[in-house]
Amino acid sequence: MAVQLDLTGRRVLITGAGQGVGRGLALAFASAGAAVVVNDLRAERAEAVADEIRAEGGTATAAAFDVTDFDAVTAAVTAAGHVDILVNNAGNAGAEGFASRAPFAETAPEDWEPFLRVNLYGVLHCTRAVLPSMIDHTWGRVLTIVSDAGRTGDANGATYAAAKAGAAGLTRSLALETGRYGITANNIALGTMRTPLTEPLWAEQADSPQAKAILAGYAVRRPGLPEDVTHLAVLLASDHGSWITGQTIPVNGGYSFAL
């Protein structure tokens, strides 16, 4: 018997969904029947993805807001109505990608703030905004896209790793607090992904020493793609994922392993 991942009648809010993995998640949830609230910091990107979903017959609205602004988050959630599924995908790995990395001893507090505000406080804000309604409806799903950096550490990316580990810890606590209300909370920990930020490396320098060094630790010698993530996310959000909670599931091409 075929497994049907049907999210018809559910509303999902996906942060950072205007490009990359977030866009892939938005399209996948729409394909499963969910009504998608497409968030991005830039309104034109959110609207473009929402238009793409609607063009395929799906239901979507664009919601441009900054996840680091709690008032803006709560206003957007109120405008959207009850959110059944939250996907915390918005993240900040550094505006310059791999070029922004530095040893922790060479950083200052002002360098830490962008990582903490988006990767940790953004998750706190969005989760806090949707959770009371999920409790009232005795059903909900909270999925947070974290990073292998938060599981294994990341030399020259310590603050990013700390923020992602903090978000993962929040998820485990939510699983304990909200399981009695029919809510599950899980993390998906990503390895190196091919995203718009890293596209120049993979498109133009795939054979460079830097690219080869990045992939040397991966059992599957390629960067991750959005479609490597989306099916798992939809499964966890569906009724088939109702007994999976508090977990951090690596999707990382075999870079590291979890028991």
Report pTM.
0.95
Query: Could you read off the pLDDT of 88-112 as tens digits, one per residue?
Result: 999 987 655 545 689 999 999 999 9
Joined together, the tokens standing for residue 85 give 């599924």
Q: Tell me if residue 183 falls in helix, strand or coil.
A: strand
**H or E, element range at 248:** strand 248-251
Report the alpha-carbon distance of residue 107 to residue 31 in Å, rounded.
43
SS3 letters across 80-105: HCCCCEEEECCCCCCCCHHHHCCCHH
Extents of the domains making up the chain: 11-251
Q: Please report the beta strands in 66-215, taking only residues with DSSP state E, as ranges in sequence order.
A: 85-88, 140-147, 183-190
Architecture of domain 11-251: 3-Layer(aba) Sandwich (3.40)
> Catalytic residue at 255?
no
Q: Which position among 160, 181, 218, 255 bears the catalytic label?
A: 160
CB 19 within 8 A of CB 45: yes
- The mean per-residue pLDDT over the stretch 10-15 comes to 99
Q: Compute the average pLDDT of residues 1-14.
A: 90
CA–centroid distance for 111 within its chain: 22
